[in-house]
Each structure stands twice: as C-alpha cells, then as structure tokens.
Amino acid sequence: MITRTKFDPKEIESKWQTKWEADHIYNASDESSKPNFYNLVMFPYPSGDLHMGHWYNYSPFDTYGRFKRMQGYNVMQPIGFDAFGLPAENAAIKRGIQARTWTLANIENMRKQLRAMGAQWDWQREVITCLPDYYQWTQWLFLQFYKKGLAYRTKAPANWCPGCNTTLANEQVLADGTCERCGSLVERREIDQWLLKISSYAERLLDFSEVTDWPEKTITMQRNWIGRSEGAEVRFTSTIGDKQEEIPVFTTRPDTIYGVTFFVLAPEHPWVNKITTPEQRAEVNAYVEQARRMTEIERMSSDKEKSGVFTGAYVTNPVSGEKTPVWIADYVLMSYGSGAIMGVPAHDQRDFAFARKFGIPIREVIRAEEDEVSDPATWSEAKEALGVMVNSGPFDGTPGEEAKARIIQFIEEKGIGHSTINYRLRDWLISRQRYWGAPIPIVYCAEHGTVPVPEDQLPVKLPENVQFKATGESPLRYEPEFLNTTCPICGGPATREADTMDTFIDSSWYYLRYADAHNSEEAWSQEKMEKWLPVDQYVGGVEHAILHLLYARFFVKALHDMGHLNFDEPFKRLFHQGMVLGSDGQKMSKSRGNVEAPDKYVDKYGADTVRCYMMFIGPFEAGGLFRADNLEGVWRFLNRVWSLVGETWVNKPDTRETSESKAIERLRHKTIKRVTEDLSHFRFNTALAALMEFNNVLIKQQRDAVAQSQAYRDALQTLLQLLAPFAPHIAEELWHQTGHANSIHTTEWPAYVEEMTRDDIFTLVVQINGKVRERIEVAADISEEEVRTLALNNERVQSFIGQASVQKVIYIPGRLVNIVIRNN
RNA sequence: GGGGCGAUGGCGGAAUGGUAGACGCAGGAGACUUAAAAUCUCCCGGCUGAAAGGCUGUGAGGGUUCGACUCCCUCUCGCCCCA
C-alpha cells in the first residue's frame, strides 16, 4: 500500500498542468524521428467562454491525440482563435470598448479554460486571426488570388438596411427579413463587391478521390451545394427596337423545347426594362420592387403561391419558331443559370404551377410509353420523367436521352445554342462592409484605377482605436488616416478599399499557418508545410460541412495550382462530432434556460471527470444529453481507480504464475485490445466501459492473494496507461505515486498479444429452435462432434426434445449450437 | 416536397446475422455509522412462479433465415440537410 489520501482533482490537476507546460511535453517537434501526426480540431470563436459544446468536442479529440502520441507518433495538436467577426463590433458599440480589447480579453479567459481541460495543446503554435502577424498573410493570400484572376470586383446584390444606411451580413437579417438592429425591412441592392472565383473550381471540388475518410453525408452535401447539372444553353430571340437580340436560357431538358408555352425572366434581369411594353410597365415595376424585398429562400420556397407579371413582350423559340409571351416571376433567380428560363408547364412542376395560376396553355411533348393519351388540362401535376417526344415536329418518336442529344445536335448545327454544364455554386462574395476583419489590400487611384497593395507593404493595418457609428456602419469609412493613401504606382493620392474580408477567409488557411506559426518572412515555409500537411485528422461540427470545408478545399486547390502547396486536399480524415443537448433534449440556449456551464462541474469534480463524462455520454458522432446526475458515475469510477491503485500497489510482486494470475493477464490483454480498437474508431464511450469493467474485476480481487502477483501489478500499470488519454491528470499522479519518474504521457501504448486475448474455455449456448435452453462451459478447442454429443445428451436438452425428431444441428464455433427439432 | 439519420428498461446507452439490455445513472433492500454523507454487498424490462423455470419483449406490421435490434418491404414518429 502506498497511499490512503483522498483523490483531490484540484490539487493534482493544476500541479500537472504546470509541470507539463514547463517540460514542453506537448510542443510538437519539427525535427522528430517519429512519424508526424497532425491532429486538428476546428478553432473556436473567442466569445469569452468555453461552453459545454467545446468540452464535448475537445475532450474526445484530445483523448484521440494523446492515444496517437502514446502509439509513437509525433503529434501536433495546435489551438488558436478565429478572432475576427461581428460580435466584437457589437460589443464595441454596446459597451464602448474597442473590438480588439474585447477580443483579446476573451482570448485570455478562454486560454485559461482551455488549459484547465488538461489537453495537450501546443501553445507555441497558437494563431489569432485578428493580429497583424496573421492577417498580413491573409492579405498576402488575397493578392495571390488577385494575381491569378481569382479575385475580382463586380456589382453584386447585398443586404441593405435603409434605416442604418449600411449593408448587413446574412446573420444580421432576421428570419422575417428585417434588420436586427433597427427593424427596417432589408432590401437587396447592387453594390461593388469583391468575389473569389470558386466557381471555376466547381468541377475539381466535386472530386473527392484524394480524401481517405470523410463522412459520405458531407461529401453528398458538398456535391449538392455545387449542384452540377448537364444540359444546354439555348438562345431565344426577340426584336428590341429595330434590332434582333438573343437571350440565352439554361435547361436540363432540351427535349422538352417544343413544350415551351411561356418564357420567364428574373425580376432583376437587365432585359426587363428593355422589353416591357408601355401598357405593362407600371405593373412590372411594382412587381420588381416587391421581389427586391424578398430573400432568395422566400422566393424559392416551393409551397409559396406562384406570382408573376406579363411584360407584354414575346420571344421566339429558335427550334419551333413559335412566339411565346415573356413574363417576370420571382421563382426565377438571377443568380442561377442566365436568370431566364423557358417555361415548359407539362414537364416541370414549378412551370406547371405557374401556368395553372395564370391560365397559360400546357402542351404535352414527352410521353411515357405506357401512358394513355390524355388532356394536360386534366393533369394534377407535371410529368417530369423522360419519355418519347410527341407534338415536336420532326423529332416525334425520339426516346429519352437520345431526344436530349438530338435537340442539342440540332441547336449546335443551327448555331442557336450548345450543350453545357451549369453549376449551382456561385462565386464567393468576400467583401464585408465591416470594420473587424482583415482589410482588403487594394487602393483606388484616379490615374491607375484598382491597384493591389505591394506585398512588401503588408500588412494593411486595421486602425485600432475607432469611433463607432450608432447605426453600426463600418467606422473604416470615416477614418481618413486609413482611407487616404498614395498610389503604389504613381505616388499620387489614392483611397483604400474600406471593405474587409469575410472571416471564412481567415479560417480557410489557419491550419496551414499552424505548421509554421511564427514565420515573419512568409505565410509558411515549404519545408514545414511538407513536414506537417495535409492534416491527418480533422474534427469539427457538421454545421461546417458546406461552407468552411468547401472554402478550405478551394483555397488548397488554388494554392496548389499556384505552386504554394504540394497537396490538393487539406483534410485527409474528417470526423463530425454530435451536438450536446440540454437535459431536456433540446439544444442549449439562453431562451430555453437549459444552458449548463462546464466550469461549475470542472470546479466540483475536476477536468478528468468532466472529460470522461463527455466521452461516456454516448457515441461521439451522435451527441447526447448533458445530465449532471450522470457525472457521478465517472467520478466514482475515477475514485475507485484512485483507491484501488493506492491500496493495492506492491513494490515486490510475487512472480509465480497461478491460474488466477493467468486469468488477470488474459484480461489485461483483452482490455488493451478493446480500448485500442475502440479508440482507433472514435468509440470513446465503449472504451471507457471496458476500462470500468477492468477496474471492477481488479477491485473484486483486491483482497485476494492474486493481488500480490506480478500479473496484478502489471494490470494496474496497464490500467493507468490506458486511462491516461482519457483522464490525464489522475493517471499521471498515480503513475508517479507508483514509483515512476517519467511522465505517463511519454510512455508507449501497451501492446497486446492476440493469443492472450482468447480464453481456453467458453460458455456454449445451446438453443432449441432458436431459443436458449442451456449453457455449458466447454474447452475452447472443442470439436463439433463433441459439441453435438454434449448438447444432445444434456439432460435439459433431452427433456425439451422429448419425442420430437432432430432435423438439423447448427454449430457456430466458440458461440452456440442450435438444435432444430420437429414434433412428430 | 426530395434526401439522409435515428427509434432498445424509469434514464443515457451496449450488442462481426448467433446468450438483448454490457457499462453507467436513477430506484429498492441490506452492511458500516449515534445519525447522515461517503463507501461496500445484493436486486433491478414486463407477466407468471415459493423456487427452478416458463412465457413475452428492441416504434408498428409483414418478409428472408436454423436463428433478426441487426438484412429486405410498408407504415408511424423524431432530428438534420436541401428545396
């Protein structure tokens, strides 16, 4: 016995945290002979507090990283802060405190909380995106994109609040379309903005062949978001003034072109003004105005009643030669395709609803073979399936895919269109008319127009003391010292771009910077990049499945093409944790009043208990309910480990083998196997259950003679090592109390021998017609013949068989035997 | 409306097509204690039985199989994503 002290997490946790940090045991070496492993978790926004979700996310993540370290990897596990963004500005306005001050104070507090988790963070690689030594390189990256023509400026629609006289981010627009600050109805306005040409990478982003382990769900979501569709662009014609003009439409169904009975422009389409007849103008203008006030989501909603207005104009169908009326309707979006569609009500559901509403004729031009001839006026919905062309002049009788191909061939020959691929993915709008972000490194010169800031003049520094407007408008627009500059080309007076970059830009490359966080000469060196990247394991919420992860992939592919990276997928393996919910099964939120702060429980039970509890809730990917009661379970478990090791450790173990010691040794190997396999597959809950079982068995035998054995002492030692990734402090403390001088976290993960995980006896289950009737202890190497004899001669089994005849005996080695009988 | 995921004791959950409910919480009984807390021991799906045991049971209904929580079909409910 070595100790009878009480388990006091407070004391040991701060002791070991200090010691680990002083010894730098978690700072990944750039020069290690071990294989590198880059273990990454999505970095937090510095809201000021580490909440339950962070603990739920980081505890298993850290346990996994510790497991990999003990398995012999040189693990890099960095942490940092996604520190730009709107909340800092809101705090600045509300509390009269500078955004930078607020953010850095929050970071300071969160660092403390992150340290208290006892995770193996490599603090030497910390990145903070709002500091100039980081955003200098964000700006540098922007310039690289600009040089390659991947960053451009154009008029793009933005959320505009007429009350505040400013643009709003999507998050600032409430669900009812009003401004969160002043309540005005938000409009969409065309404003000059910067975009990144992600659309030119659409095809490449659809290729996931370089990732090794991503959730299929996430890949599907990205594919749908990119929204590739094959089809044709067809140019309709119209006479405007005295000129014949062409207007392109995109369709995935060129085979339905004879079914066009109307034509629709998006309300903001440039043609609307040109072609509307004087009689229709007032009505059209009113409709355009109304559509402008709606969000795209509202407009696209399929259960919304269709609306639209006739323009008075007509276009000519270039294939059939027919004239069709031109409408405008808000279900057509300017941002998809060409902002114009051919209306085929018979074979497109939305067109069908529109035609029904406005009494537009519906003409069937595709018929499924089994279909009877019927009047489209009697249909209740459009027939969207492929079929044979009818009512289509010379094309009648052409089936399915061939029909599409023949129309495409026809329009290409006539020069009135061509086959094409359309993507739903739009270019990435990165301008934010905000203060707290990385300034876009561009100046405007009367002489030279748009001029990029030369790389050696970076960073373009964000002024740190600014006056906020009550409206929330960006103070950068009123900072002459920031705005007024000189043209890098001619030295003449010039104005800086006052917009800052979307914070998704910051997070699109932070994982690259971790590899070389303090490089003041370049964003990263080739050497460090090649050493650490791509990321081996990435863990983060499914809410980032589309935007963040798609943007990061785009960055890496573009930077790869520019020669800055030697790989083109950033994250080899990806894991999405589930969400931790309140005890009522609802998402934690202030309004529901079910928010639980982790600090309270860390204070009461210690970090080890909270970490373990987070992992014990259930499968990591599934999330689960936080129930304070259940913390008691893991708390008791850790206490039992504490007293077991303290009371049972012997310095001079008995090395003789007994059947009991062999059984302990077998259990030790079995447990290593279970925990190793569970951790490899992110099954933290069952790994902990295995440790609890192991602990329970050892406790049961703690007063027996076997507790004096070498095997038992080995078992205690293994228990501590297996527990170390989960509960790093208590494991370290007990490791030292049992006479070890090194850190348990630098020890090698225990190995198991497959042979030792197998028992020499097992419980043979005897079923009769699939029902368990008897259990017999038998030797592991029992033959099938012996099993048959044993089972059939068993007294209980006999009594169940009675007069019935045995039809069949099925033996599953090592498990069970099923006797199939039939009553005579 | 489309797609995906899920539904197992009072609760969280566990089960390569092979002993359903591991592990833990809550609950019950007992030990220790002047008492309580802590700790320890036992019990703990339902029905039935003194017990041994029997029957039944993984959202509902069907199917495949010697055997189904697990595979297939239909339905109900819940969550997520897209519309």
Tell me the pLDDT tens digit for each residue of A70-125. 999 999 999 999 999 888 988 888 888 899 999 999 999 999 999 999 999 999 99
Q: Is the CB of A586 under 7 A from strand B?
A: no
Average of per-residue pLDDT values in chain A: 89
> Where in the sequence of chain A do the CATH 1.10.730.10 domains occur?
628-756
Q: Is the CB of A770 under 7 A from strand B?
A: yes
Q: In whole angstroms, give the CA distance from residue A575 to residue A572.
A: 10
Q: Is the pLDDT of residue A302 over 60?
A: no
**Residue with smallest Cα–C1' gap to B6:** A622
Residue A619: the pLDDT is 92
Residue A470: the pLDDT is 74
Smallest CA-to-CA distance from A166 within A476, A471, A480 is with A471
**Residue with smallest Cα–C1' gap to B66:** A820
Q: Is the CB of A815 under 7 A from strand B?
A: yes
**Residue A580 Cα distances to A342, A517, A598, A617, A627, angstroms:** 47, 32, 12, 9, 10
> Where in the sequence of chain A do the CATH 3.90.740.10 domains occur?
228-423
ipTM (interface predicted TM): 0.94
Residue A602: the pLDDT is 94
Residue A776: the pLDDT is 86
Q: Is the pLDDT of residue A754 over 80?
A: yes
How many Å does it take to go from CA A672 to C1' B39?
29
Q: Is the CB of A627 under 7 A from strand B?
A: yes
Domain A228-423 has CATH 3.40.190.10: no
* Smallest CA–C1' separation from A424, nucleotide: B82
Q: Is the CB of A6 under 7 A from strand B?
A: no
Q: Which residue has the tokens 């070498």?
A: A710
pLDDT in tens, A609-638: 999 999 999 999 988 889 888 999 999 999
Cα radius of gyration (chain A): 34
How many Å does it take to go from CA A608 to C1' B60?
43
Residue A175: the pLDDT is 61
* Smallest CA–C1' separation from A765, nucleotide: B19
The answer for residues whose C-beta is within 8 angstroms of residue A556's C-beta and 6 or more apart is A534, A565, A567, A568, A569, A570
Smallest CA-to-CA distance from A46 within A133, A120, A130 is with A130
Estimate to the nearest angstrom the gap between the alpha carbon of A228 and the chain centroid. Answer: 21
How many Å does it take to go from CA A797 to C1' B55?
18
Q: What are phi and psi of A571, to 5 degrees?
A: -125, 110
Strand B contacts in A 197-236 (CB under 7 A): 217, 220-221, 224-225
Q: Is the pLDDT of residue A771 over 90?
A: no
Q: Is the CB of A4 under 7 A from strand B?
A: no
Q: In whole angstroms, give the CA distance from residue A570 to residue A533.
A: 8
Q: Are A129 and A81 in contact (CB under 8 A)?
A: yes
Smallest CA-to-CA distance from A606 within A464, A732, A466 is with A732
Q: Is the CB of A622 under 7 A from strand B?
A: yes
Residue A5: the pLDDT is 75
How many Å does it take to go from CA A198 to C1' B73?
43
How many Å does it take to go from CA A812 to C1' B70?
18
Q: Is the CB of A614 under 7 A from strand B?
A: no
| A587 annotated ligand binder | no
Centre a 10 Å sphere on the Cβ of residue A174 and count the other Cβ atoms it contains.
Answer: 11
The first and second tokens of residue A405, run together, are 């191909």
How many Å does it take to go from CA A766 to C1' B51?
23
Segment A246-268 shows an average pLDDT of 90
Q: Is the pLDDT of residue A460 over 60?
A: yes
How many Å does it take to go from CA A6 to C1' B33?
20
Q: What percent of chain A has pLDDT over 90?
A: 49
Q: In whole angstroms, give the CA distance from residue A158 to residue A193.
A: 9
- In which band, very low, low, confident or very high, does the pLDDT at A296 lie, cut at 50, 70 and 90? low
Higher-scoring residue by pLDDT: A691, A755:
A691
The first and second tokens of residue A523, run together, are 């964003």
Smallest CA-to-CA distance from A41 within A535, A526, A419 is with A535
Residue A174: the pLDDT is 67
Strand B contacts in A 270-309 (CB under 7 A): 297, 300-303
* Smallest CA–C1' separation from A635, nucleotide: B24
Residue A305: the pLDDT is 72
* Smallest CA–C1' separation from A772, nucleotide: B19
> Where in the sequence of chain A do the CATH 3.10.20.590 domains occur?
759-822
How many Å does it take to go from CA A820 to C1' B62?
24
How many Å does it take to go from CA A653 to C1' B80?
55
Task: Locate all alpha helices (DSSP H) within A307-361, ordered by sequence.
Answer: 349-358
Q: In whole angstroms, give the CA distance from residue A52 to residue A594.
A: 11
What would the DSSP string read from start to end of A394-462?
GGTT-BHHHHHHHHHHHHHHHTSEEEEEEESPPPEE-EE--SSSPBP-EEEETTTEEEEPPGGG---PP
Task: Locate all alpha helices (DSSP H) within A584-709, ordered by sequence.
Answer: 598-605, 607-616, 631-648, 659-680, 684-700
Q: CA torsion sign, A404 to A410 to A413 to A417?
A: negative
* Smallest CA–C1' separation from A225, nucleotide: B82
**Residue with smallest Cα–C1' gap to B13:** A618
Segment A442-468 shows an average pLDDT of 92
Q: Is the CB of A541 under 7 A from strand B?
A: no
Strand B positions within 7 A of protein Cβ atoms: 1, 3-5, 11-16, 18-20, 22-26, 38-41, 54-55, 66-68, 80-83
How many Å does it take to go from CA A744 to C1' B37?
34
Smallest CA-to-CA distance from A529 within A537, A519, A539 is with A519
Smallest CA-to-CA distance from A423 within A654, A607, A223 is with A223
Q: What percent of chain A has pLDDT over 70?
A: 96
How many Å does it take to go from CA A637 to C1' B56?
35
Residue A377: the pLDDT is 81
This model's pTM is above 0.80? yes
Segment A190-206 shows an average pLDDT of 90
Q: Are A215 and A165 in contact (CB under 8 A)?
A: no
Smallest CA-to-CA distance from A431 within A499, A381, A364 is with A499
Task: Give first-to-last CA distance, chain A, whole Å.
Answer: 66
Q: Is the pLDDT of residue A1 over 60?
A: no
* Smallest CA–C1' separation from A770, nucleotide: B67
Could you say which DSSP state residue A587 is in? Answer: B
Segment A404-419 shows an average pLDDT of 90
Q: Is the CB of A685 under 7 A from strand B?
A: yes
pLDDT in tens, A774-806: 888 888 888 888 888 888 888 888 888 878 888
Q: Is the CB of A624 under 7 A from strand B?
A: yes
CA angle A443, A147, A223 (to 5 degrees): 115
The first and second tokens of residue A724, run together, are 């170390």
How many Å does it take to go from CA A811 to C1' B16?
17
* Smallest CA–C1' separation from A618, nucleotide: B13
The first and second tokens of residue A747, run together, are 């020890």
pLDDT in tens, A111-169: 999 999 999 999 999 999 999 999 999 999 999 999 999 999 998 877 787 877 777 76
Q: Is the CB of A697 under 7 A from strand B?
A: no
Task: Locate all alpha helices (DSSP H) within A98-213, ordered by sequence.
Answer: 99-116, 132-147, 202-205
Q: In whole angstroms, give the CA distance from residue A608 to residue A602.
A: 8
- For the stretch A601-615, what's the b/e string if a residue is b when 16 or more beta carbons lie within 10 angstroms of its beta carbon? bbeebbbbbbbbbbb
Q: Is the CB of A629 under 7 A from strand B?
A: yes
* Smallest CA–C1' separation from A623, nucleotide: B12
pLDDT in tens, A31-78: 889 999 999 999 999 999 999 999 999 999 999 999 999 999 999 999
Element containing residue A512 per DSSP (H, E):
helix A510-513
How many Å does it take to go from CA A67 to C1' B57?
40
Domain A759-822 has CATH 3.10.20.590: yes
**Residue with smallest Cα–C1' gap to B81:** A221
Q: Which CATH superfamily, name and number, covers A628-756?
A: Isoleucyl-tRNA Synthetase; Domain 1 (1.10.730.10)
Q: In whole angstroms, give the CA distance from residue A676 to residue A748.
A: 13
The answer for residues whose C-beta is within 8 angstroms of residue A248's C-beta and 6 or more apart is A233, A234, A235, A236, A338, A340, A417
**Residue with smallest Cα–C1' gap to B2:** A302
Smallest CA-to-CA distance from A447 within A476, A486, A484 is with A486
Strand B contacts in A 395-454 (CB under 7 A): 424
Residue A170: the pLDDT is 65
Segment A544-548 shows an average pLDDT of 86
